Structure 1
Amino acid sequence: MMGRSILLGWLLLVFCLVAPALASDAKESAETPQVADVPIVVDVSPKEPVWVLGKDHELKVTIRHAANISTFFPIRLPLENFIQKEVFEQQETKPNGEIERVFTYVVTPIRFDVTVLPSVELSWVMRPETGEETLTGTRMVELGRVRVDGAYTGDGVPELGKPGPKGRSIVTRDDTRVFLVIAVGVGLAAVVLFLLLWLVLRRMVAVGERPPIPASEVALRELENLKARADKESVQNEEYVTRLSEILRVYLGSRYDVESVEATSTEILEWAEESPKRGLSVLVLRQMLYGMDLIKFAAHTTMADEIRHMHSEVGELVDKTRISPEEQAAQELQARAMIPTQVERAFALAVDLSVGCLVATPLFLLAAMKANVLLLSLGLGLFGLWMLLRDVLRRSPGKKAAGLEIIHGTIGAGVQRSTLRSVAGAGSRIARNVTLLPIITLLGEAFLAATDKGQRRAGDLMARCRVVRGRSGGEVVEQPLVWVLLAFDAVFFLVPFVWALTKLF
């Protein structure tokens, strides 16, 4: 039911976004400031020219005024359906003292149409020759109208890309640059995908699926290292007991998934009494913790025999409470159950892509209607930023809907229960999404996650984290709904994006 609600809501929002853009006729209106009475003459040439689609043409704006007047005219013109390539400015002082400024704009029409060019604002400042006040103002310059035509062949009404009248052919749009950009993008994406595959293969060969070292073996190894160091060096009793306490607390935390390193002795004992464990004697644990606290904090003097007795007691506790083969197998089975299916990961990704499309698609539509490359870049940038930071608040909307979360660790079948509850930090949650910034690598990352036993992609391996089911066990997701939602995401991202590209290049 949750998946259907998300899909219906997404369809409604997309309809509200796309329908007005396709149904409305974009009519622009501009307020024309009142033209001041100043001796400024503006001439635009050529008058109502006939230009050829895809060819370079010059539009000249000549401004003449007295020497005591300064004018300001934009270098880039707000021309839709044209590509402005170059601009040249020339200034000359006439024999009568007048200033003549000529702006030559080299533009290429990219739409087969009759276009009314927009009005452009000309600002001026007039410095009086006497002690009068300096005057400023603006006026609008009409650039006129342009007919974008072509060369035609055949008879009948000319259509873009088809034969036309009088033995000439219509000039079609030059899509060379579009295909060049797409080819470069695909090439870069292929290189990135190759590097990601290389990273995964290299890490699988170097690391493999090695299970973690059991907490009991780590603790016993640390006890041996501490004893060997004490035999070689002169270790103070307080330092020895402090290190002994650290080994015990780290072992309890790793073995039973509790916060024992920073907890007080009283808190650890309360946990032990509330949750009895096999082989863990609360009485023995109380004697060890309180005895160590007396030496660490109360500067209690003790003999070497007592220190060795504490050392052996910690070793016996670790040996009695070490994980059994049956318990190890049960934990591994539990760990495998926490790995989400491909459908669950795909559903989470589909919801996150929907949120990103809600941000990017309106900008793509505006970029297509306005032929504005900045809007297209802004849409891509916001989409990439969303994909990078979507997990910054612990879980993205997609993972929250699918009941998933991100934890530390890159280990495989031997994952421990404590690892399953170690939530990854914000830095790791952001770092795992860096590989998605090229956007097109989504396909490569999806392939890597689908082929990996633990559903891990290159970003997970790089950030040393993984996605698992939450404490609730994840949400039931219908597979057809996931593919439909992914298809909608692809359509409503790619169609406006490609449309904008065709309008810009």
Structure 2
Amino acid sequence: MRVNFNKKFRKRGIRFSPAICALAILLSGLNAQEQSLIEVDASVDKALITIGDRITYSLIIRHDADLHVEQPGPGANLGQFEIKDYSIIDPVELDGRIVQQFDYQISVFDTGRFVIPPFPVAFASSDTARDYQIIQTDPIEITVESVLTAEDNEIRDIKPPQNVPLDYTGWLIIGGIGLIVFAIAMGAFYYWRYRRRGEPLFRKETIRPAHEIALEELFVLSQEWPQMLENGEHKILFSRLSEILRRYLENRFFIKAMEETTFEIAVSLEELELDENDQSCLISVLEFSDLVKFAKYVPHQNEVVKQLEEAQNFIDATKLVFEAVEHKIEVREDEQESGLMQAVVQHNNTNSNTPLKQKTDIK
């Protein structure tokens, strides 16, 4: 069907130019082509819940195969909702595009209307590109109702008076005094015993380097991981590996790695200006550990060996080593004599009121 736009708009006093129409169609085509590079959708399985119910929040990303998309992690910001579980659906290819799905099990313990904020997804034109762009999903509103019924909200009668309990204040005072006396007696006894043996009462604690502690824990884990993997304790295995690396980061670089997510640790390491290979090695181990802990991924034996080796390589590459430097100063006899003369002259200058008698013959 052909539509004459000029006749249609002349009735309203508007002249529709064919050139303007062609330009609008071209711009809309370019905009549609740009927007078709990546699409993100978010949905929930239910929008009306009660307190404590879990919701499945699904994030679906559709993008071209050449596009690099930053994978959302388990520490996403979903507003007032708590993330209880996190799973990754295997990506599929549909009509030449990659479709990825990430499911979050979330919950909230309050009533009212809550909004899941827009979920940001970072993407770039290629794996080596640095100019990341952000695309966001639409916010989703969730209504949370109380589990109480109208009968539960009714005012109840006042409970009857209770009997006053016995006063144990006196017994507590006597017991506290007895404990203090016992503690003083035991302290005097241990002090007398250590003095008798010639041992110090308080021992100095040797502070070990962070890499020694981490490598020792890593060695113990390397001896136990085959049995843990056989017993199906792969989640505990990679939890221990992640904690070893996070404690090492806290003791070595003084960052709060135990309280930070993998993404926040990566940002902290960039501020420290560490080597990029070392950073990528550490982040790879932490992301693989998150995959096993939160996405229920079952690792193979060769993958476990690889992650343990990369963890050890990172610790060896970033450990702090102290080297003892000894300075040896040799003084000749003539330098000793000249130093002695300089000391005498300096003493005479500083004590001009009480001159020092010197002998004319110095052997």
- Fold match, TM over 0.5? no
Which structure has the higher relative contact order (CA within 8 Å, separation 6+)? 1
When normalised by structure 1's length, the TM-score is: 0.24
> Higher helix share goes to which structure?
1
